[in-house]
């Protein structure tokens, strides 16, 4: 009988993590604790929905940077950093030639592409992979990618808004959301028997939109107005005789009394039927909506930087006692964004989508202003170089000559950031979703 001696399996001990790996894991753990603590605090204070909207805004900013990142990689450019936030690093990891990470101040993000201009010093071995050495169409693609992402996001938001959430139809009948009362007693609407939720179908036989109803009533003080109303499944005719607003006071209204006769019934805060579109109509409406939003944003920016807009903005900063007009030009700081995001989140999905849509279109348009350090400045330089190039010889612009403009624009952006923060603290804007 032969006895076989067996030797137990031996396992080599797991290799110890390198100091760099240990540091990365520790930083990631700390970042995770910070995020977890923020989520717990948000839940405990009842602001989870606001945090989610703010997170969506941050995600959109990073998608902007992802547009630059992917097109730069596609063009063969060397991208060394892709970061969320600014300031001290909280966590980062290197994958290949790119470092990915998170910094302490989540006020945006950035992508670092080597050789963006002739001022950037680059290792000669990497010169062929710089932004400045790539063909015009490649540089143009990278420069406009961020704003393109914002317009794509805006278009997708409009698709969801029109097809899933729905939008009010202001051209149809409206429902009564508020009934006023006079200081001296019931208003004409109360005396006529109006109830909250009544749907007004016609006034004196005319199908009027909400914008037209106040004009119609103001012109008829003391003259009975017959309203065709739907209440549930019933159809009613309610007759209200408008009072003269120059002779009565509406309870809770602090506006100065008008000297001219004006009819007043006392219905307000209307709601409108919500309509959703089919697939083909949704695409058409989203396309038109994106075009209108873009045009409106361009006009708004032009108004802000016009002489009258600059004067109005100065008055807001200097005259703290002045009554604010909702049409006054105004930028929002991060404080203002958080406040408006909270207001939208507590109002409904339609308002959240509208806010995100507005932000995307604004950032997309603003970034295309043809001045450094904005993306539009890189588009302008690339286009100028393309125009100046002759007979196959590439022209390279000297960006040093544009640095005074760069610093001026940078200072304007810093000024707008600080001043908007001041205004958002001392003179916050009214809730735009009321």
Q: How many residues does the chain have?
A: 434
pLDDT for the residue 38: 62
Taking alpha carbons only, the member of 365, 313, 344, 293 closest to residue 146 is 365
pLDDT for the residue 429: 78
Residue 406 pLDDT exceeds 70: yes
Task: Answer whether residue 71 is part of any domain.
Answer: yes
pLDDT for the residue 10: 53
Taking alpha carbons only, the member of 373, 372, 383, 399 closest to residue 117 is 399
Dist CA 42 CA 49 (whole Å): 9
Task: Answer whether residue 187 is part of any domain.
Answer: yes
Task: Answer whether residue 14 is part of any domain.
Answer: no
Q: Is 306 helix (H, G, I), strand (E, B) or coil?
A: coil
Task: Answer whether residue 1 is part of any domain.
Answer: no
Tell me the per-residue pLDDT of 8-18, one tens digit each, with 9 for 90 and over: 555 555 555 56
Domains: count for the chain: 3
Beta pairing class for 225-231 and 234-240: antiparallel
- Which residues on adjacent β-strands are paired with residue 175? 199, 271
Q: Within 10 Å of residue 204's Cβ, how many Cβ atoms?
A: 13
Beta pairing class for 167-168 and 274-275: antiparallel
- State both tokens at 236: 């009613």
In this structure, the answer to whether residues 293 and 405 fall within a common structural domain is yes
* Lookup result for tokens 């007043």: 264
Dist CA 263 CA 250 (whole Å): 12
Identify the domain containing residue 23 by its residue range: 19-167
In this structure, the answer to whether residues 283 and 253 fall within a common structural domain is no
Q: Tell me which of 385 and 323 has the higher pLDDT.
A: 385
pTM of the model: 0.80
Dist CA 428 CA 264 (whole Å): 31
Taking alpha carbons only, the member of 231, 222, 177, 178 closest to residue 201 is 231
In this structure, the answer to whether residues 305 and 413 fall within a common structural domain is yes
Angle among Cα 377, 383, 384 to the nearest 5 degrees reads 90
Task: Answer whether residue 432 is part of any domain.
Answer: no
Instruction: Give yes or no for a contact between 85 and 102, defined as CB atoms under 8 angstroms apart.
Output: yes
Tell me the per-residue pLDDT of 147-181, one tens digit each, with 9 for 90 and over: 999 999 999 999 999 999 998 888 888 899 999 98
Residue ranges of the alpha helices (H) in 367-402?
375-388
> Domain of 226: which CATH number?
2.30.42.10
Residue that is last in its domain, among 275, 302, 336: 275
Task: Answer whether residue 309 is part of any domain.
Answer: yes
pLDDT for the residue 1: 40
Largest CA distance in the chain: 124
Tell me the per-residue pLDDT of 220-256, one tens digit each, with 9 for 90 and over: 999 999 999 999 999 999 999 999 988 888 887 766 6
* Lookup result for tokens 């932004």: 131
Tell me what the mean pLDDT of segment 98-104 comes to.
Answer: 90
In this structure, the answer to whether residues 308 and 207 fall within a common structural domain is no
In this structure, the answer to whether residues 125 and 200 fall within a common structural domain is no
In this structure, the answer to whether residues 96 and 43 fall within a common structural domain is yes
Tell me the per-residue pLDDT of 256-299, one tens digit each, with 9 for 90 and over: 666 788 899 999 889 888 889 998 999 999 999 999 999 999 99
What DSSP character marks residue 183? T
Query: Residue 2: which pLDDT band, with cuts at 50, 70 and 90?
Result: very low
pLDDT for the residue 192: 93
Q: What is the mean pLDDT of the chain?
A: 85
* Percent of the chain residues past pLDDT 90, beyond the cut: 44
Task: Answer whether residue 95 is part of any domain.
Answer: yes
In this structure, the answer to whether residues 90 and 128 fall within a common structural domain is yes
Rank 95-104, 162-171, 285-294, 399-408 by mean pLDDT and report only the highest. 285-294
Return phi, psi of residue 254, to 5°. -100, 0
In this structure, the answer to whether residues 319 and 386 fall within a common structural domain is yes
pLDDT for the residue 75: 95
Residue 61 pLDDT exceeds 60: yes
The CA distances from residue 193 to 42, 70, 186, 200, in Å, are: 45, 63, 11, 13
pLDDT for the residue 4: 46
* Lookup result for tokens 């196959």: 392
- Torsion sign (Cα): 362, 363, 366, 368: negative
Element (H, E) at 294: helix 279-304
Rank 19-23, 50-54, 71-75 by mean pLDDT and report only the highest. 71-75
Task: Answer whether residue 76 is part of any domain.
Answer: yes
Q: Return all residues near 314 (Cβ < 8 A) that are at least 6 apart.
A: none
Instruction: Give yes or no for a contact between 189 and 235, defined as CB atoms under 8 angstroms apart.
Output: no
pLDDT for the residue 21: 62
Number of H helices, E strands in the chain: 11, 14
In this structure, the answer to whether residues 415 and 317 fall within a common structural domain is yes
Q: Within 10 Å of residue 193's Cβ, how many Cβ atoms?
A: 13
Instruction: Give yes or no for a contact between 171 and 209, defined as CB atoms under 8 angstroms apart.
Output: yes
Residue that is last in its domain, among 275, 310, 339: 275
Dist CA 351 CA 296 (whole Å): 18
In this structure, the answer to whether residues 113 and 148 fall within a common structural domain is yes
Return phi, psi of residue 89, to 5°. -70, 135
Residue that is last in its domain, among 275, 303, 335: 275
- Which residues on adjacent β-strands are paired with residue 179? 267
- State both tokens at 306: 């016009």
pLDDT for the residue 9: 53
Transcribe 189-241 into DSSP letters.
HHHHT--TT-EEEEETTB---TTHHHHHHHT-TTS-EEEEEEETTEEEEEEE-
Tell me the per-residue pLDDT of 336-362, one tens digit each, with 9 for 90 and over: 878 888 888 888 888 889 989 999 999
In this structure, the answer to whether residues 235 and 133 fall within a common structural domain is no
In this structure, the answer to whether residues 65 and 144 fall within a common structural domain is yes
Query: Pseudo-torsion of CA 395, 399, 405, 408, nearest 10°?
Result: 160
């Amino acid at each position: 009988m032969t006895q076989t001696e067996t030797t137990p399996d031996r396992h080599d001990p797991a290799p110890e993590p390198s100091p760099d790996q240990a540091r990365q894991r520790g930083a990631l753990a700390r970042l995770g604790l910070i995020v977890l603590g923020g989520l717990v605090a948000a839940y405990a204070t009842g602001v989870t929905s606001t945090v989610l909207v703010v997170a969506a805004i941050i995600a959109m900013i990073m998608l902007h940077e992802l547009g630059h990142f992917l097109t730069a990689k596609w063009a063969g450019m060397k991208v060394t950093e892709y970061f969320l936030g600014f300031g001290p690093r909280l966590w980062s990891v290197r994958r290949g030639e790119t470092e990915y990470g998170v910094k302490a101040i989540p006020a945006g993000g950035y992508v670092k592409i080597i050789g963006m201009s002739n001022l950037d010093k680059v290792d000669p071995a990497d010169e062929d992979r710089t932004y400045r050495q790539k063909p015009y169409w490649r540089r143009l693609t990278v420069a406009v990618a961020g704003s393109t992402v914002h317009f794509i996001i805006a278009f997708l938001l409009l698709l969801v808004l029109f097809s899933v959430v729905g939008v009010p139809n202001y051209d149809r009948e409206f429902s009564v959301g508020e009934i006023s009362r006079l200081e001296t007693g019931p208003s004409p609407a109360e005396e006529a028997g109006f109830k909250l939720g009544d749907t007004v179908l016609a006034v004196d036989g005319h199908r009027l939109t909400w914008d037209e109803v106040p004009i119609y009533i103001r012109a008829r003080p003391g003259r009975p107005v017959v309203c065709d109303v739907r209440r549930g499944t019933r159809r009613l005719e309610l007759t209200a005789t408008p009072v003269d607003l120059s002779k009565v006071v509406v309870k809770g209204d602090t506006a100065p009394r008008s000297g001219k006769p004006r009819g007043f019934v006392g219905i307000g805060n209307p709601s409108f039927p919500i309509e959703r579109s089919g697939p083909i109509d949704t695409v058409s409406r989203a396309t038109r909506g994106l075009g209108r939003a873009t045009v409106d944003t361009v006009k708004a920016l032009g108004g802000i930087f016009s002489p009258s807009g600059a004067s109005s903005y100065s008055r807001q900063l200097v005259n703290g006692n002045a009554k604010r007009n909702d049409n006054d030009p105004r930028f929002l700081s991060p404080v203002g964004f958080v406040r408006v995001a909270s207001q939208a989140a507590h109002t409904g999905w339609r308002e959240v989508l509208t806010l995100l849509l507005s932000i995307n279109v604004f950032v997309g348009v603003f970034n295309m202003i043809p001045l450094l350090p904005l993306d539009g400045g890189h588009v302008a330089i690339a286009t100028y170089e393309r125009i100046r190039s002759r007979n196959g010889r590439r022209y390279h612009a000297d960006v040093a000559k544009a640095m005074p403009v760069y610093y001026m624009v940078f200072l304007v952006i810093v000024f707008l950031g600080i001043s908007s923060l001041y205004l958002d603290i001392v003179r916050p804007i009214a809730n735009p979703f009321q």
